[in-house]
Structure 1
Amino acid sequence: MRVAAHQPNYLPWTGFFHKMANCDVFVILDNVQFPRRDFCNRTRIKSPRGAYWLTLPVVRGAFEQKINETRLFEPDTNLPRHLKTLHHFYARAPFYNFLIQKLLPIYEQSWEYLLPFNLALIKTLAAILGITTPLVLASSLGEPPAGKSERLIYLCQQLGADTYLSGRGAVAYNDPVAFAAAGLKLEYQSFTPPVYPQGYGIFIPNLSIVDLIMYHGSASQRFLCT
């Protein structure tokens, strides 16, 4: 069984869903430290002036604050603002109405914490893409040991996996010797970000999956096969 893991990003990019589609269980790393200036509370979409950062303000706690402890800041104001931004940049996209009808019930709910909000979005977007991989919260698997590789090995062992699928950005810190000693095969994601018609202007790569779905709807799934 192949396991992959990732932080619960906000409206993630295409590579996030490619990894999810290519494993048997996808672990949501909810009990790790909340990353500053990363993608847990922000994403990139397309504007007429280029890539635009769509950022969810959060309540900053202690330095060691975990993702599952992170609260949204004034969500009743900021979530509607994000909907307006999506409308402003994508209202003319062919699948705007299709996608916004899926997202609207989530944005209109009352949320206190970042994690459940992001999870609701991730599950909805995965369903649009036809991805049925089970999601498991890392916090539900017990307290892992210290160390990045040790944490991942522990999660794999708890789930009975024989293979861990890693993003290529983790090459610098994954310990292949530790994985091998644990009897785990360490594989790296093979993914080329898709190039697709974006509707206007020059193509901007590595945007949120929202950008792809706005222009290609459910057919977006075929772009994840690259």
Structure 2
Amino acid sequence: MCAIHQPNLFPRLSTLAKLFAADRWIVLTDVQFTRRDFQHRARLAALDDPGRQQWLTLPTHLPHGRPTLISQARLVDPCRSRRTVELLVRQYYGRSRHWGAVREVLEAVMHTLDTSGCVAGVAKRSTIALLTALGWSGEVLDSSEIPSRQNRSERLADLAAATGSTHYLCGSGGLRYLDVGPFDAHGIPVLPFHTPVDADDPLWQWSRRTSSLWALSKSGPRALANRLAARRGAAFP
């Protein structure tokens, strides 16, 4: 089962839950960068008051203007971005009793910021680090290395087929535009993945707005992994 998703900086729990439920994540980097999306920014929620939030944003240069692909976007000032990321993540989650797990995620991103000026590389590393903290052992592939057609739905279907995936896991946002025809042509079922909408459960209440760092800081890696595994089990019994 594969999920195909753009690299997001410290992704929201709704995104992380979908990737955790998949056996394979195909990182979609050969599409246009969107400044108002989550490739270069994340919304941090305060540890004890998730309604208090702040954007963590990596200043980004688009060398080709608006048509710039995600893979081509560059950090304006990697050193400054490094200081900002470290300062804000420590400020928001340094008091958590699960800080050790959060720190490992942070250190992985710091290393990438030290060695790469590529926004996609930093965002991808932040997601992999979170998945690793939760014990996910799936496969990560890059869409730019896999031949596919250009039409949106055809591209996704081709990526799934070329990697030998038997099912495509699609989030609620993708379902609004997806044409299942190309998947049917490849014999690949499209499985919808939804996160709960539960105002009484803070974990899911904030899952579509805030970075997964908050959930990791509140629950810890083992408890959070168990919750996501249970969500996968409920979606695909």
TM-score bucket of the superposed structures, by smaller chain: 0.7 to 0.9
Q: How far apart in 1 are the matches of 2:59 and 2:43?
A: 15
Aligned residue number for residue 4 of structure 2: 5
The size of the alignment, in residue pairs, is: 219
50-59 vs 172-181, which deviates more?
A: 172-181
Cα distance change of structure 1 residues 187 and 98 upon mapping to structure 2, 3 Å threshold: closer
CA apart distance, 1:205: 4.6
1:172 alignment partner, one of 173, 176, 182: 176
Equivalent pair of 1:51/1:204 in contact (CA under 8 Å): no
**After the TM superposition, which residues 13-162 of structure 1 pair with which residues of structure 2 at under 5 Å, given as runs?**
13-47=12-46, 50-61=52-63, 62-108=65-111, 109-142=114-147, 144-162=148-166
Higher helix share: 2
Cα distance change of structure 1 residues 168 and 98 upon mapping to structure 2, 3 Å threshold: closer
State the Cα deviation string for residues 146-201 of structure 1 (Å, max 9, x = none): 2111101110121122321111111221112332233221111132267347xxxx
Equivalent pair of 1:20/1:133 in contact (CA under 8 Å): no
Equivalent pair of 1:50/1:204 in contact (CA under 8 Å): no
Tell me the SS of whatever aligns to 2:169.
Answer: strand
CA apart distance, 1:42: 0.7
Matched, 1:183 2:187: yes
Q: How far apart in 2 are the matches of 1:122 and 1:89?
A: 18
Matched, 1:212 2:219: no
17-26 vs 104-113, which deviates more?
A: 104-113
Which TM-score applies when normalising by structure 2?
0.84
In percent, how many aligned pairs have the same letter? 24
Equivalent pair of 2:12/2:207 in contact (CA under 8 Å): no
Tell me the SS of whatever aligns to 1:34.
Answer: coil
Gaps of 5+ in 2: 232-237
Q: How far apart in 2 are the matches of 1:186 and 1:205?
A: 23
